[in-house]
C-alpha cells in the first residue's frame, strides 16, 4: 500500500470522530436513527414548542417520579429535570445502548436514572427505585413500527404503574399512539403542534 493511501485510511477514523464531536447530540441522534430506524420515533429532535406544550399540564409540585420511554439524546429529559422538584426522580428507559450511554455520561443530576431495557418492564424498574407508582409517563416510542404486541403491552403496563390522577403522554406524527392510549385511558386530551417538523400529535391519557 502506498504511503498516501495508508495516510488517507488512517485519517478516516479521526475525521469521523471530529464530525461526531462537532455535531454533538445531533450526531448521536443521527447515528441512533441510522442504526435502529424502527426504534427511533422521530426524524429529528422535537421543537421547543412541542416540549413546552407536552409538559405544560404536569402538576410538577406533586411529581415524585417521572418516567420517560425512548429519551434519545435528552430532548425532553433536560426540560423535565428543570421542572422536577428537588425530591423528585426521573427514570428513562431505552433499548438503545448508544442513547443510554450518552445520557449517563452527560447528565450528572442525582435525581436522574438511565435504564437500558424495555418499557414493557416499567413496573419492575419503578419498584427497583423504591416506588410503588409513577406520577407521569412520557413516551417518544414509535408505536406504529414496534413489533406486534409490544405496543399494547407497554400501554397496559403503563396504565398499571401510574397512580390515580397520573398521566401517560405521547408525541407522534400519526394517530397510532392516540388510538392505543384510548384502550387503557378513558379520558384523553390531544393537540396538534404545527411548529414541528413534521407536525406532532400530542396526547395525554389520564388515569382517573
| CA–CA distance, 188 with 178 (Å, rounded to integer) | 8
User: Most distant CA pair in the chain: distance in Å?
Assistant: 71
| Three cell numbers, residue 11 | 485519517
Which pLDDT belongs to residue 195?
84
Query: How many helices and strands, by DSSP H and E, does the chain display?
Result: 8, 7
| CA–CA distance, 52 with 192 (Å, rounded to integer) | 13
Which pLDDT belongs to residue 19?
40
Which pLDDT belongs to residue 144?
85
Q: Strands (DSSP E) along the chain, which ranges?
A: 65-69, 89-94, 112-116, 134-139, 162-172, 187-193, 200-206
| CA–CA distance, 113 with 98 (Å, rounded to integer) | 15
Which pLDDT belongs to residue 2?
55
**pTM of the entire predicted model:** 0.81
Which pLDDT belongs to residue 135?
98
Which pLDDT belongs to residue 6?
44
DSSP β-ladder status, 162-172 and 134-139 = parallel
Which pLDDT belongs to residue 25?
53
Which pLDDT belongs to residue 7?
43
Residue 63's nearest CA partner among 197, 180, 163, 199 is 163
| Three cell numbers, residue 175 | 394517530
Do residues 70 and 85 touch, judged by C-beta distance below 8 A?
Answer: no
| CA–CA distance, 139 with 94 (Å, rounded to integer) | 10
Which pLDDT belongs to residue 190?
96
Which pLDDT belongs to residue 208?
85
Instruction: Spell out the per-residue pLDDT of the chain, length 208, in tens.
Output: 554 554 444 554 564 455 445 445 555 555 545 454 444 445 567 789 999 999 999 999 999 999 999 998 899 999 999 999 999 999 999 999 999 999 999 999 999 999 999 999 999 999 999 999 999 999 999 898 889 999 999 999 999 999 999 999 999 888 999 999 999 999 999 999 998 878 889 999 999 8
Amino acid at each position: 500500500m502506498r504511503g498516501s493511501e495508508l495516510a488517507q485510511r488512517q485519517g478516516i477514523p479521526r475525521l469521523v470522530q471530529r464530525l461526531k464531536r462537532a455535531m454533538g447530540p445531533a450526531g448521536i441522534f443521527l447515528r441512533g436513527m441510522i442504526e435502529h430506524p424502527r426504534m427511533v420515533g422521530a426524524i429529528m429532535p422535537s421543537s421547543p414548542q412541542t416540549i413546552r406544550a407536552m409538559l405544560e399540564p404536569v402538576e410538577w409540585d406533586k411529581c415524585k417520579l417521572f418516567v420517560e420511554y425512548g429519551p434519545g439524546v435528552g430532548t425532553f429529559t433536560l426540560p423535565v429535570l428543570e421542572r422536577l422538584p428537588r425530591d423528585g426522580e426521573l427514570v428513562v428507559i431505552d433499548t438503545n445502548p448508544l442513547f443510554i450511554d450518552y445520557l449517563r455520561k452527560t447528565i450528572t443530576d442525582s435525581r436522574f436514572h438511565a435504564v437500558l431495557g424495555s418499557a414493557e418492564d416499567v413496573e419492575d424498574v419503578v419498584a427497583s427505585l423504591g416506588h410503588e407508582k409513577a406520577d407521569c409517563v412520557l413516551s417518544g416510542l414509535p408505536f406504529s413500527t414496534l413489533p406486534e404486541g409490544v405496543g399494547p403491552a407497554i400501554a397496559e403496563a403503563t396504565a398499571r404503574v401510574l397512580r390515580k390522577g397520573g398521566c401517560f403522554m405521547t408525541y407522534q406524527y400519526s394517530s397510532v399512539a392516540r388510538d392505543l392510549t384510548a384502550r387503557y385511558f378513558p379520558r384523553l386530551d390531544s393537540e396538534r403542534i404545527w411548529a414541528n417538523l413534521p407536525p406532532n400529535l400530542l396526547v395525554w391519557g389520564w388515569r382517573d
